[in-house]
Structure 1
């Protein structure tokens, strides 16, 4: 990719770590960032919009996209397929947008195998107790479901070392600032700054003759 392209960020977190809220707050403050809209074969739910929440497709169409190697990553969860369009991601990056993928550690590894330059971030809760309280606080799941989510969260957390950055969501504002710092630091790298400040550098390097 050229120096003018955006960067690909892969955010992974156990359910209840606050990833969705952090990403929403980041998007509200940073207009250079967008979130990939996944493809899925599951049925659309009340209140959802095609192309906004998900790109809803048939299983046949999904299988075709996978066979054409047009997915960066894909997985089957509870008999429904989910995946990220490689074409959309590459197009958004070429337009200079930073792209966020919200996927689990397995999807992250698939993406890094194709895009080794992608930046992997893991968001974690401050403790198991805090995570359990957050899951219970939703008031939507039974104790059995919460126990399963906790077990899945433990598996997700065990792969934290495969990411490049680790954000602990203890205090929301601090975690958001940490996340913003990761995005900003990449934009301050010399190749990106040289492109963005091309005219200024020409002027500074001018001998005045």
Structure 2
């Protein structure tokens, strides 16, 4: 673990969702996945498959493929159907903790099996960087790593457990971060193991004069 201080605006809220709330969230995400099936995203240019499977809910969804790269769009890339709505419990989380009035437009759903990981990256495909990224962990523990706004900046690692919430706001909004490993068997929440990560994002600025929701 690095010795540097965590970036300003980074918040870790351990155990934010208790077991019953986690179970309710998983049930809601199963409904999302029934309408918008998990798929394997591909890296821009190389077309290499990512190790996570993903889907989205909300007005917009984050997708990536070889041909068009990283982007947000209103429809599932394989079914062509609109994304399902963001569960109300996640909208409540945003309202209570994001400290940003306009609601999230996208919730990225990543499923990690025992061998999946996520390399260091910035969440920078959005137009609205004043809004934080709000993330929920469900299922097996993971080793989360966060650095600074430069790829070569020092990093620090945190172990995240089921029900934890992480918020990247202010200076930490564009910090590099990733998931180095999953700890299989550390949670009984998901019947077949693994980890679900839910990431709430505001993509576009609120139009001038628009009401907040």
For the criterion TM > 0.5, the same-fold answer is no
> Greater helix share, 1 or 2?
1
Structure whose CA Rg is larger: 1
Q: Report the TM-score when normalising by structure 1.
A: 0.27
> Greater strand share, 1 or 2?
2
